[in-house]
Every structure is written in structure tokens, then in C-alpha cells.
Amino acid sequence: MKQQRDLVTKRAPVSVLDLPGMERWLSGMAARGLFLERQASFSTQSFRFRRGTPRTGRRYRLCPATYGNTAPSEELLELYAAQGWQYVVCTSRGSICFHIFFHDDPAAPEPFTDTDSLIYALRTPIRRGVIALLSSGFSLLLALDFCHLRLGLGPVYRSGLATPWLFLCVCCLLLFLSSGTDLIMLLTFRRRFSQGLRTPIPLSVSLHRFQLLLGCSSALLFLLAIFSLSVTLGFSHSDLPLTNWDPDFSLLTLAEVEGGDGWTPDENRTVSPHGWPDATPLPPSSAFHTVTCNDVDIDRSLVRTRYFIDQSGSGARGRASMEVHYFIDPTARSAQSLLEELEQAVLSEDGYYSQLPASLPFQSAAVPGAEAFRFRRDGIHWEILAQKDRRALLLSYEGSRDLSQWFPQIAQMLTQTGEP
């Protein structure tokens, strides 16, 4: 227990990449009777010290470690020991490592007797710093590319898919800034040392705090990205039959719209590959895929819930189909913004969200139960945009019915079950 009480953990006020600043701090701790034992935390740059009799003459020096060596070689230990320097521990900042030695004789010669030898030894840390900067930059570009692809899917699909990548993009950006700061500190120390200056780097304390802030923020954002992705994957479902789904609103079914006893919903069907059955030999089973009908896809994210409800079938009036993109947003303002984005996407020329002419405008209608209600029609094709509070929907219908008589029921879908 006494040995445990003799151990103290202190966080360094400067980065280990500021070699003179770190050496001065460790020497100051020895003068207070605290002697370095090991590095306690790599993320916060904390170190473990053992209490003892203060030694004002103890000096510490950091020696750049060669690539892949977290322990000094026997040759290096013998070289330092010949001049009275004793090895303590290896410390690191990311992949950049330094060996720490100490000497109790203030008049003992320096481990590096000339400028060129230390500058030469700094090649490995600087090379690692460049690699870290390039790696974080590549990761940032990759994350931005993935995020761009998700955002390019438009307002219907991008919310759940893009949220984890947005967190990851900012995380990679912070890591890139952190790697850049590390490299700048190393290059600054090398330049100052070549000029004969062995004093702490200017603004070293502020740069170290900035690095800690970047590290903590990037770790938090990475956890948020993982959590967001877990929510998206863990609480999302695909091809869930409507008969097994219990929504929290009154869903207007295609069977209600079409009516009649002769209504028959479509059943799932297997689609064969092109050229079969004429093709020989028989294609593998993986070449066939199943098309599901009358189901719902559920996408959940930290910022939005989306339901894609697909209904189709045939009856006395012929075939009919209805698709509903249903959204639950965090705020009413975001739902209103989403409605505007949906309208712009539907009216775009690419036809990704709509088969109706882009020149056909939406008409507004005052429908009880909806704060905003817009529709457009081209023959048997209908499209409806509606919003109330935090909920919004985009409905597409193809059939022989006059859908205007169902506007109240469509607006009612925006009210959560149990609400007045």
C-alpha cells in the first residue's frame, strides 16, 4: 500500500513532441521529488511518478526511437551508459516514439554531442509524422467521398445513411489537423535546434491543449459514428410484410382506396436472370432474386425515422399501386425544410423520385389535419406532399381512383395514434 501511495499521476503541460519543453518539465518534477516511472496514458499524455528526495540536478533527455523499436537497443543503452545516462521509459505521441534517459550530474556531457546527430535521429519521427498526416488525409478524403455519395441520394435516403459518415468526416478532419500539428511541432523543433536553440517551442502549452481537444473530440465523434451506425443497422428493417407491422399512425391502405371484394394484393415473386430459361446451363441460385410486395422498409437514425411503404395489387378496376415515403423528424422546422427539399427533388429533371413531368407544378390544398398539403396529377398518376408538426410524407399513387376524396385520410396519417 505504501508503494501505491508513493505513486503520483501528472498530466504533462506540453507535448512530448516539444522535446525541450518535456525535458524541462520532467527535470522540474524531479526537483520537487517526483521521479518519472512510466507513461500512464497515451491519449492525455499523463505520466506516473514516484515520490522521493528532491534532486535539483537531475536532467532528462528524449532520444528519437528508430522505426518499430519501443525499447532501446543494447548498443544505444551502452552508448548512453558510457556517459552516465540511465534509461527510464519509452514515451509516444501516436506512432512517434522517444526514449527517455536521465542523469544526476548537471555537468555530464549531452547524449548528442553535435547538432547533426540529433537532426539525423529526428528523421524517423518526422517520417512517421508525414505518414500519419498522409494517412489521416486519405481517410478524410475517403470519408468525404462516402458522405458525398450518401448525400447525393437526395432527401429521401440520405438522412439515415449519411449521419454516421458525417460524424466520421469531422472525426477524420480533426485527426488530420492533429497530425498536421504534430508534424509542425517536430519541424519547428528541428529548425530551432539547427539554429542552436534548445528552448521550449513557442506556444507549446497552447498547442498541447489544442491537441488534447482535437484528440478528445475525435474520439467522441468516432463513438457517435459507431453509435449512429449501430442505431441505423440495429433498428432498421427491410421487406417487413405490412401484415406484421403496427405503425403509430392510421395507415391508408390501397385496399381501402380501391375497395371491392375483388381486390387482390400482389404476392412476392422470384425474378430469373436475363436469358433464362433459354440459357444453358442452369444459372446458379444466387442469380435469382425475390421481389417483395406490400411491405415496409424501416430506416432509423439519430436524426430521422423513415418508412417506405409499398403497396400494389389488382381488382375490378384493374391494377393499382401506392408508395409512401413517411418521415418523422426531430423538429417541426426540420420537417418543413424536408418538405421543401422533397418538392424540389420531385420536380427535378432526373426523374429519380417521380415519373410525372417536371413542368407539372404542385397545387396547394387546405386539408384538415395537415399544416401543408400539396398535390399534382397527370392522368392516373398522383403525387402528394403533406406535413404536420414533425411528420411529413411523399405519396405516389397509380390507379383509376380520384384520390382527392381520400385527402382527409392521407392527412390523418400525419397524426400519431392517440393524439387529438
User: Which of the 8 DSSP states describes residue 247?
Assistant: -
Range of the domain at 100: 2-111
> At 271, which amino acid appears?
V
Residue 242 falls inside a structural domain: yes
The larger pLDDT score, comparing residue 27 to residue 110, is at: 27
Task: Judge whether residue 323 has pLDDT over 90.
Answer: yes
| Residue 416: φ, ψ to 5° | -70, 140
The CATH number for 359's domain is 3.40.1000
Q: Quick one: 406 and 274 in the same domain?
A: yes
Kindly state whether residues 136 and 48 are assigned to the same domain: no
How many domains is the chain built from?
3
Q: 59 or 160: whose pLDDT is higher?
A: 59
Q: What is the DSSP letter of 180?
A: H
Instruction: Label residue 413 exposed, middle or buried (CB < 10 Å: 0-12, 13-18, 19+).
Output: buried
At 47, list the grid cell: 505520466
Same domain, 104 and 155: no
Q: What digits encode the pLDDT tens for the residues 261-286?
A: 678 888 876 655 554 555 555 556 55
259 shares its domain with 361: yes
Q: Could you tell me which residue, 111 or 351, shows the higher pLDDT?
A: 111
Residue 282: inside a domain, yes or no?
yes
Return the C-alpha cell found at 25. Answer: 518539465
How far CA 419 is from CA of 96, 209, 334, 414, in Å, comes to 59, 50, 21, 10
In whole angstroms, how large is the CA radius of gyration of the chain? Answer: 33
Give the alpha-carbon dihedral of 75, 80, 84, 90, to 10 degrees. Answer: -110
What is the C-alpha separation between 238 and 158, in angstroms, rounded? 16
Residues 45, 159, single domain; the answer is: no
pLDDT at 70 over 80: no
- Is the dihedral angle over the CA atoms 138, 142, 147, 149 positive or is it negative? positive
Same-domain pairing of 147 and 31: no
Higher-confidence position of 333 and 280: 333
- 275 CA to centre of own chain: 43
Q: Is the pLDDT of residue 1 over 50?
A: no
Residue where one domain finishes, among candidates 211, 234, 257: 234
Helix (H) or strand (E) holding 200: none
Judge whether 254 lies within some domain.
yes
| Position 311 pLDDT exceeds 90 | yes
Question: Is 407 a member of any domain?
Answer: yes
Question: Are 250 and 350 contained in the same domain?
Answer: yes
CA dist 311 and 254 (Å) reads: 6
Asked whether residue 330 is domain-assigned, the answer is yes
Q: Please name the residues in contact with 98: beta carbons below 8 A apart, sequence gap of 6 or more.
A: 16, 19, 62, 63, 64, 65, 90, 91, 92, 125
Flag whether 418 is in a domain. no
Residue where one domain finishes, among candidates 197, 219, 234: 234
* Helix residue ranges per DSSP H, 242-302: 254-258
- Domain final position from 111, 135, 161: 111
Residues 46 and 178 in one domain: no
Residue 419 lies in a domain: no
* Spatial distance between the Cα atoms of 174 and 215, rounded to a whole number of angstroms: 8
Statement: residue 231 has pLDDT above 80 = no
- The reply to whether 164 and 177 lie within a common domain is yes
Mean pLDDT in the chain?
Answer: 84
Is there a single domain that holds both residue 63 and residue 170?
no
66 shares its domain with 79: yes
Residues 271 and 145 in one domain: no
The answer to the question of residue 36 being in a domain is yes
What pLDDT score does 239 carry? 82
